[in-house]
Chains A and B, each alone.
Chain A
């Protein structure tokens, strides 16, 4: 049953006198803060910065690929550019994007806590992130890294004369930043829930972050030790991965993908959490099959640890093992499909409205489905042998990561922007941006499926002339996509000062974060909230009168 939408009148809304933004002033009050909302804002700014650096690299790549010859960039420069694009986008944007900004901001409020369990560790996590970011920027300035984001041995340990050690240590540090975020979330979700906030009253956003945090905590240390071994191998020449000394380069691949496959779920699960919130709010219905969606997040996390070798089908692993991994890979499609079907069922008979977050969420569903299904192609060994290391792979993971996660991230940023800043973004231009992003995205990456299928290999600056038409399409799409990403940067900044005042609950959403003032107080709640309603209970929201809300600041 959906409830009729009655959005509150925003012309009468006012900004609260005291909020986390104006409680204290000065740079010190931000850089030494323990407040999860301020740390979330620090993350938001730094992640946006690195996103646009990584985006600039993507722009260079697409410009170079406009023509078949390696003319804009020399081949080795091209290698450095796509490596920088990969490392920055994966470790400094995708992994921390939703968890460290939106998750950091709303998870404590959603569970009814005053802060994350370990505020200082939360701040430390941001500083580690910045340290890693600075090291990577330094490698860019000092001459770059050209290993690809995968640090493949023995290429990275023996054959390259670039700043692999600095980049490896930077990723190591970024890994610890992500471990601390995940650890903080798990402890907060277990130990800091308000009275009455049972596990099955938690918003699905919290569930998906819980699953992603488990992956961060269990997977990232393996990446850390792997990078330590790579650095040791490069710096002093120990022989764990070096075949000339008896080591096994495939072991590197096993250990690396043991983290890096779950890492794609670290990246996508928080995005799925955003979509659950947005879908429910803008169809005014409880998420269809709440329990199934909640447990599918956990199932994705668990299955995620059993499928990594599908990245290694052509690397010389045993055929028998590849068969097992191929079968297990198919299993991951099940929980992902459960989510997609349940979101679609949530829309059914809902009273749907098309605000910007919802547009991005629709984009997510379409693009993620394509990305996910092509993942099934790649998981089946026969196809994979043909498609590995072609643009098909590139298109596949960009559909999941950019079409999926980035859409979800933008959806979330728009959805919670009124809560974070107290002001609305301009609805008209943001809808335009959502549409531009979608169109630009399809134009950029759909041709790459065709290119990959035709056999164009990835990671080369030059390509045969017959691929040019599709590459020109792709590069044209990338420039449209660039506009789609620059627009939010501009109008969201504009809205900080000129946006309409949002009021506490502009979407009439049910989460605890919408029951308090926007922007929230530093301590979130004046009194500890006592939760008596289920998640996504719109009837509860409609029937409650303002006097019955004990949690409004």
Chain B
């Protein structure tokens, strides 16, 4: 038993001395272990993110059932084209991010940098469209707390002449817009954090990192980026597509 232990330890030590890339942190035995650990940590972080957005989705579900006509009218006041465009942009950015991970895994530096830049551009484009929409809502007095007015919802719009809500229900569009701004705001905050992190990673990748086998940071950032995409995949139908056929 003792000799077995010793043998196991010597082989362990030999293993460590055999390969010791610079990115292997001292408290991990193998690169494999480090990578798995980092990925698992990232997934746990995404778990917390599910619950973070989960609180908002829970609130959404309740108020949508309570104030359905207000939610319909609120949803109708958003630009369908903007929502669709943003969904498209984010899905393409998810694709480019997946390709960036692939480039890191296959160790092609130029491809990695190219796909990362594409992802950043798409992320920024998303934020620009979002900013345009928010500006529009500000102009239309749809920002709860700051300049809200239910007047727009009491006598219908050009596209949706049926959206004539009684004044008390029109007031409730405030709840819709509160959730709209909280949800898209939190989502945009995650996008801004994502774009900033990606820029940092890009600078490092430009310096030659992440194509020498150490792909975990790119991979895990990819997980984050896809998660933010998934949140939007749900926000889009929930906020933009309520009863569009009316």
Contact = CB atoms under 8 A, between A and B. Distances in A.
* Direct touch of chains A and B (CB < 8 A): yes
Interface of A: 113-115, 117-119, 121, 179, 183-184, 186-187, 190-192, 195, 217-222, 224-226, 228-229, 232-233, 236-240, 245-248, 251, 254-255, 258, 523, 527-528, 530, 532, 548, 550
Contacts, number: 133
Contacts of A251: 59, 62
B206 interface: no
A546 to B, nearest CB: 13
Interface stretch (B114-122, B168-176, B238-246): B168-176
Nearest to B172: A246
A532 B2 CA distance: 11
A226 B53 CA distance: 10
A246 B145 contact: no
B144 interface: yes
B178 A247 contact: yes
Contacts of A220: 48
A222 B51 contact: yes
Nearest to A182: B44
25 contacts: A114-B27, A118-B37, A119-B27, A183-B44, A183-B45, A184-B41, A187-B41, A218-B47, A228-B182, A229-B182, A232-B182, A237-B146, A240-B178, A245-B172, A245-B174, A245-B178, A246-B63, A246-B70, A246-B175, A247-B63, A248-B63, A258-B55, A527-B9, A530-B8, A550-B5
Given A187-B37, A530-B5, A240 B51 contact: no
B40 interface: yes
A118 B182 contact: no
A366 B13 CA distance: 49
Given A114-B26, A187-B40, A528-B29, A221 B174 contact: no
B178 A115 contact: no
Contact of B178 (A121, A184, A219, A239): A239
B69 to A, nearest CB: 12
Nearest to A218: B51
Given A219-B51, A530-B9, A117 B41 contact: yes
Contacts of B36: 191
A240 B175 contact: yes
B37 A117 contact: yes
Interface in B21-69: 25-27, 29, 33, 36-37, 40-41, 44-45, 47-56, 58-59, 62-63, 66-67
B179 interface: yes
A119 to B, nearest CB: 7
Q: Which of B37, B70, B144, B182 has the most CB of A within 10 A?
A: B144
Contacts of B33: 191-192
A229 B51 CA distance: 14
B14 interface: no
Given A220-B48, A248-B62, 10 more contacts: A115-B26, A183-B41, A217-B47, A226-B55, A232-B145, A238-B145, A239-B178, A240-B182, A523-B26, A527-B12
A222 B52 contact: yes
Q: Which of B33, B48, B54 has the most CB of A within 10 A?
A: B48
B40 A237 contact: no
Nearest to A115: B27
Nearest to B178: A238
B56 A225 contact: yes
Contacts of B25: 119
B186 interface: yes
Contact of A186 (B8, B44, B56, B58): B44
Contacts of A532: 1, 5
A96 to B, nearest CB: 17
Q: Which of B5, B66, B172, B186 has the most CB of A within 10 A?
A: B5
A229 B53 CA distance: 12
A195 B7 CA distance: 13
B144 A237 contact: yes
B48 A239 contact: no
B181 interface: yes
Interface of B: 1-2, 5, 8-9, 12-13, 25-27, 29, 33, 36-37, 40-41, 44-45, 47-56, 58-59, 62-63, 66-67, 70, 144-146, 171-172, 174-175, 177-179, 181-182, 186
Contacts of A219: 51
Nearest to A550: B5
B59 A237 contact: no
A229 B8 CA distance: 55
Contacts of A119: 25, 27
Nearest to B168: A246
B41 A238 contact: no
Q: Which of B53, B55, B62 has the most CB of A within 10 A?
A: B55
A239 B5 contact: no
Contacts of B8: 195, 530
B44 A192 contact: no
B182 A238 contact: yes
A545 to B, nearest CB: 11
A186 B45 CA distance: 11
A128 B145 CA distance: 30
Given A246-B67, A255-B55, A236 B145 contact: yes
Contacts of A237: 144-146
Nearest to A247: B175
Nearest to A191: B37
B169 to A, nearest CB: 9
Contacts of A548: 2
A255 B25 CA distance: 39
Given A187-B40, A239-B178, A245-B175, A218 B48 contact: yes
A183 B186 contact: no
A223 B157 CA distance: 39
A192 B37 contact: yes
A240 B59 CA distance: 8
Contacts of B29: 528
A187 to B, nearest CB: 5
A294 to B, nearest CB: 21
Contacts of B182: 228-229, 232, 238, 240
Contacts of B9: 527-528, 530, 550
B175 A221 contact: no
A222 B55 contact: yes
A222 B63 CA distance: 18
